[in-house]
Amino acid sequence: MLKHFDEKREDLAPYGLTCEVWRPNVMRRADRHNEIEINYLPEGSITYLIHDKKIHVEKGSFVVFWALLPHQIVDYEGDAPYFVITIPFGLISQWNMSKSFLDLLFKGRIQMFETVQNLQITTALFKQWVLDLESKLPYLNEVCALEIQAYLKRLMFQKSNNDEIELKMELPSMNLVEQMAIFIAQNFTKPIKVTDVSRAVGIHSDYANAIFKKAFDVSLSHYLIQQRVLYVQRKLTITMDPITSIAYEAGFNSISRFNASFLKFVGMTPREYRKLIQTDR
């Protein structure tokens, strides 16, 4: 099913790890979400307004950018569908990507690449990711994450050996909520608390929680625990490490609190979740 931008979606609402097929259309307003976004065009072309710069993406090209920058399609040629990948900030921070690459993205640099394979192979790969992620199977979700990570690293390697396009722009100032979301994504595996998050942006914890909940519809504590639980789910999927070790690695400092949090967010115990994953393989 072809996707299109929902103009009623909330600002900063996350997409999660996705690979979807979109049909180009002019967006009446900009979108923003705290994730890395990758667009791949097997046909046609689109023109983005990202912050205050127009970016033209041609057939066979990739554009990679930090989607916290306001972005919207303002023009396109042809109505051929294109692919959109979104990668949560917390996930990509675990991928051991080049620090220089991530630093450039978070400074507002738009990265553009040519496909590293022929269009048919690349398009087939993206179609497979669409199907696998639509299945909602945790094991296939993790496989896709690993493959997307590898493909992105290959693009980075190609860029380091070729003179590709790097578009520079000034990063707009981030509001306090955005700063808190980024601080959590970078530090949730450490034993941080809500007070640490509020201190990092220089405001009182009560005020920090109030404005965060207004923007994300969840409390800072809820969001922090959710990031840790998601981390544990990924580790349970791809490793056989002891559950207690994974819990501490994710930032939990109490096994009883970890078990209660996991049950609340996932609906089953960590042991039941791992058994389910192994059954699906």
Distance CA 255, CA 266 (A): 16
220-238 and 138-160 helices, crossing angle to 10°: 90
Residue 3 structure tokens: 């996707």
CATH number at residue 248: 1.10.10.60
As for how many domains the chain has, the answer is: 2
Give every CB contact of residue 217 below 8 A, 6+ residues apart in sequence.
10
**Residue after which a domain boundary falls, among 119, 144, 167:** 167
Same domain for 38 and 72? yes
**Residue after which a domain boundary falls, among 132, 167, 202:** 167
Closest CA to 220 of 201, 193, 257: 193
Same domain for 207 and 82? no
In this prediction, residue 123 has a pLDDT band, given cuts at 50, 70 and 90, of: very high
Say what the pTM is.
Answer: 0.67
Residue bearing the bigger pLDDT, 105 or 36: 36
Same domain for 49 and 147? yes
pLDDT tens digits along 104-116 = 777 677 888 877 6
Strand, helix or coil for residue 84:
strand
Which residue segment(s) compose the domain that 57 sits in? 18-167
At residue 176, the pLDDT reads 83
Same domain for 136 and 224? no
pLDDT tens digits along 146-172 = 999 998 888 877 765 444 444 444 444
Same domain for 246 and 221? yes
Residue 72 structure tokens: 């919207």
pLDDT tens digits along 225-234 = 988 998 898 7
Same domain for 24 and 77? yes
The answer to whether residues 62 and 107 touch, using CB atoms and an 8 Å cutoff, is: no
CATH number at residue 71: 2.60.120.280
In a domain, 1, yes or no: no
Strand order in the sheet with 82-88: 18-22, 82-88, 35-40, 61-66, 110-114, 166-167
